[in-house]
């Protein structure tokens, strides 16, 4: 689908969208093929336009990121095996993560994360399962040009966040945590903000522990609202009728696996 007029304007004003994007993509594609080969480039063709927009059409930077993505896949082949949407319905049905059908007022895709559900998730799935789902999920949502241009926001409910759940998840280790943050750096996702509410006191302590793994830009885009859920929704560009009650909204019957079904 073509970009909306508002997104076309944003792409030009904020992302340096060229007048000949197809030509720039073709040039970048040829450079990626020189580095990793045609077969490997084709495997990650979905990421190339998103990478170019993420780095504001700097071809050299985009090609380096594509090379890094390929290298990451070589290092973690289990995360990139062929997958289908049906494989992940079980994970989504735990109701820990999803995204809203409607975008926020800024056109950003809205990811939902319910931290309390991490306990249930950790009992059923491993860190590798979670990363594999993330890789598949990214390869789907980043084909959407509206998401490439507008980016995403993450809205989190951290009420009763289980402090030790992640450490009990199968496969969790320092190398596993590093693989998660490496994937965040490799992916072409433009995170415009992380908005969290109802966080226990220890979440801020945990945040300080993981900030060394986060980019400076991402650190500056993390906002904690405590019990002021209304302020969080306003900052995230949302209205109450767009989000489920767990996130301070009034949207009933939300199916966390809707996008996979």
Please write down the long-range contacts of 96-104, taking CB distance under 8 Å and 24 or more positions apart: 96/120, 96/121, 96/256, 97/256, 98/254, 98/256, 98/257, 98/258, 98/259, 99/141, 99/152, 99/259, 100/242, 100/243, 101/258, 102/242, 103/146, 103/150, 104/153, 104/236, 104/237, 104/238, 104/242
Q: 59 and 140, same structural domain? A: no
Same domain, 11 and 106: no
- What total number of domains does the chain contain? 2
Residues 123 and 20 both lie in one domain: no
For residue range 60-113, list pLDDT tens digits in order: 999 999 999 999 999 999 999 989 999 999 999 999 999 999 999 999 999 999
Q: Is 261 inside any structural domain?
A: no
Residues 145 and 107 in one domain: yes
Convert the pLDDT of each residue in 231-245 to its tens digit: 999 999 999 999 999
Boundary residue ending a domain (75, 99, 126): 75
Last residue of a domain, one of 75, 103, 118: 75
Mean residue pLDDT of the chain comes to 91
Could you tell me if residue 258 is inside a domain? no
Please give the residue that has the higher pLDDT: either 214 or 256.
256
The more confident residue out of 222 and 70 is 70
Instruction: Assess if residue 176 is contained within a domain.
Output: yes
Looking at the structure, tell me whether residues 190 and 112 fall in a common domain: yes
Residues 39 and 161 in one domain: no
pLDDT of residue 114: 96
If we measure between CA atoms, which residue out of 129, 146, 144 comes closest to residue 47? 144
- Structural domain for 107, as ranges: 85-247
Question: CB-based contacts of 51: which residues, under 8 Å, 6+ apart?
Answer: 62, 65, 66, 69, 188
CB 107 within 8 A of CB 145: no
Q: What is the pLDDT of residue 172?
A: 74
* pLDDT tens column, 118-173: 999 999 999 999 999 999 999 999 999 999 999 999 999 999 888 776 677 787 77
Q: How many whole angstroms separate alpha carbon 220 and alpha carbon 240?
A: 25
* End-of-domain residue from the set 75, 97, 116: 75
**Do 44 and 122 belong to one domain?**
no
In this structure, the answer to whether residues 98 and 39 fall within a common structural domain is: no
Structural domain includes residue 257: no
On whether both 94 and 31 belong to a single domain, the answer is no
Which pLDDT band, with edges at 50, 70 and 90, does 177 fall under?
confident
Query: Among 112-121, 210-219, 252-261, where is mean pLDDT lowest?
Result: 210-219
- The reply to whether 89 and 47 lie within a common domain is no
**Shared-domain flag, residues 160 and 215:** yes
């Amino acid at each position: 689908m073509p970009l909306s007029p508002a997104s076309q304007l944003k792409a030009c004003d904020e992302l340096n969208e060229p007048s000949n994007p197809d030509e720039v993509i073709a040039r970048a594609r040829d450079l990626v093929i020189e580095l990793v080969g045609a077969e490997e480039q084709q495997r990650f063709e979905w990421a190339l336009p998103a990478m170019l927009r993420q780095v504001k059409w700097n071809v050299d930077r985009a090609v380096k990121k594509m090379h890094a993505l390929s290298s990451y896949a070589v290092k973690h082949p289990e995360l990139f095996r062929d997958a289908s949407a049906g494989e992940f319905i079980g994970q989504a049905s735990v109701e820990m993560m999803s995204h809203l059908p409607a975008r926020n007022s800024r056109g950003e895709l809205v990811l939902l994360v319910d931290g309390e559900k991490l306990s249930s998730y950790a009992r059923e799935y491993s860190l590798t399962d979670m990363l594999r789902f993330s890789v598949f999920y990214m390869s789907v949502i980043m084909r959407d040009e509206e998401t490439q241009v507008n980016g995403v926001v993450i809205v989190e409910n951290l009420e009763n966040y289980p402090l030790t759940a992640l450490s009990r998840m199968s496969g969790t280790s320092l190398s596993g945590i590093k693989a998660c943050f490496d994937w965040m750096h490799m992916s072409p996702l433009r995170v415009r903000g992380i908005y969290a509410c109802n966080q226990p006191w220890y979440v801020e302590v945990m945040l300080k522990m993981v900030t060394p793994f986060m980019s400076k830009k991402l650190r500056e885009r993390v906002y904690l609202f405590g019990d002021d859920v209304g302020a969080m929704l306003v900052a995230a560009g949302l209205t109450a009728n767009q989000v489920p009650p767990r996130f301070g909204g009034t949207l009933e019957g939300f199916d966390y696996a809707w996008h996979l079904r």
